[in-house]
Amino acid sequence: MSTISYLTRVEFGEGQVSRLQEFLDLLGVKRPLLCTDRGLVATGMVQRIAALLKAPPAIFDGTPANPTEEAVLAAHAQYVAEGCDGIIGLGGGSALDLAKGVRLLTGHDGPLAQYTLVAGGLARIHGRICPLIAIPTTAGTGSEVGRAAVIITAEGRKLGIISPHMLPSIALCDPELTYGLPPGLTAATGMDAISHCLETFMAPAFNPPADAIALDGLARGWRSIEKAVRDGSDKSARNDMMVCALEGALAFQKGLGAVHALTHPLGAIRQLNLHHGTLNAVLMPAVLRFNRPAIGAKWDQLQSFFGEAPDVAVAKLNQRLGMPAGLAAMGVTEEMLRPVAEDALKDHCHATNPRTPTADDYLVIMRESC
């Protein structure tokens, strides 16, 4: 049987971010480190949110697009140097995952590799760590309610550090923060959220509540992603996309699958620095086709939802959203594929795909997605 649990306190709705000080007080945080990235500083949002607080927070804005252990260590050094006692993660999945990594180090010694799921880290992670408030500014990863931080460790592998203790203390989900997200990023992050709903729905664990949540997230994402891309100020579409992201991550406690097993090593290729959601979108049709023989009635359920074969529906959506034509168009070369396929076998999402791929299967999936 399965363990089924939903744990995070979520405050959802327009304007919720204005309550940030209230929640810092609730958690007893007097000197927060706000972890974010320079892109968000450039939008003015970081300064606006910092100004909501009684006293200016310490700010770390050096989060890279795919967060690295190096950046986590730099932020943690600032946390210590500035006498901080809590963390605010503000941004997309990268800033939120970096914040989770810094928080882990407030109660655990490095290096981070020992805490990754594949290294048995679950047993090493305990709850004696500082409070964390997560404020998403993209509607994609759902990291604000997820128990994972996905970080490129010092060895250069992008790995999941996963534990219920990694869950943020509070998630402040304010769709208004996504109104200014440009169309390309709205599409790419939205496809990440949709891919969570789809992949976890296909994952074999027995977890009917998670399946129901994933299908609700899928329905919202599917009806609203194009509207949010066309008109960033469409409130109802932005709301749907933020719920889709939230629900995807609530549901993926079941595990994800081959799409994410591949996009983690692809995202670790430093010279390309590829966006996670874009990679998911490009790989999804081939993974759906690969999974078909193993998912039985779920394929039919998806087909009746989409009104056509699920792989075809996702490929058409990718095209309408202007996603890259394939991995090759993103700069991925044939020589890169074999090491990625080998790493995918060792990724924590590999084991929860409904049909177990071999390295050769991963190669076929990537070549089909080129």
Ligand X SMILES: NC(=O)c1ccc[n+]([C@@H]2O[C@H](COP(=O)([O-])OP(=O)(O)OC[C@H]3O[C@@H](n4cnc5c(N)ncnc54)[C@H](O)[C@@H]3O)[C@@H](O)[C@H]2O)c1
CB 123 within 8 A of CB 87: no
* Residue of 135, 148, 93 lying closest to 347 (CA atoms): 148
- Residue 140 interacts with, from Fe ion, ligand X, none (CB under 5-8 Å by kind): ligand X
- 257: tokens are 């699958």
Look up tokens 């924590």; give the residue: 348
Residues in the chain: 370
Q: Return the SS3 of 219.
A: helix
- Residue 177 interacts with, from Fe ion, ligand X, none (CB under 5-8 Å by kind): ligand X
By CB under 6 A, tell whether 225 contacts ligand X.
no
DSSP 226: H
By CB under 6 A, tell whether 37 contacts ligand X.
yes
Q: Least Å distance between CB 303 and ligand X?
A: 26
For residues 179 and 228, give the distance between their C-alpha atoms in angstroms, rounded to a whole number.
9
CB 23 within 8 A of CB 133: yes
DSSP 11: E
Q: Least Å distance between CB 250 and ligand X?
A: 11
For residues 370 and 367, give the distance between their C-alpha atoms in angstroms, rounded to a whole number.
5
Task: Select 12 or 309, whichever has its Cβ closest to ligand X.
Answer: 12
- Residue 66 interacts with, from ligand X, Fe ion, none (CB under 5-8 Å by kind): ligand X
Task: Select 49 or 288, whichever has its Cβ closest to Fe ion.
Answer: 288
By CB under 6 A, tell whether 267 contacts ligand X.
yes
Stretch in the footprint of ligand X (CB under 6 A) among 89-97, 222-230, 283-291, 294-302:
89-97
**Cβ-proximal residue to Fe ion, closest one:** 192
Q: Least Å distance between CB 167 and ligand X?
A: 10
**Contacts with Fe ion, residue ranges (CB under 5 A):** 192
Task: Looking at 252-333, list the stretches that DSSP marks H as alpha helix, in order from N- to C-terminal side.
Answer: 258-267, 276-295, 297-306, 310-321
Task: Select 66 or 299, whichever has its Cβ closest to ligand X.
Answer: 66
Q: Least Å distance between CB 99 and ligand X?
A: 10
Task: Select 59 or 98, whichever has its Cβ closest to Fe ion.
Answer: 98
By CB under 6 A, tell whether 87 contacts ligand X.
no
- Residue 6 Rama label (left phi>0; alpha psi -120 to 50; beta): beta
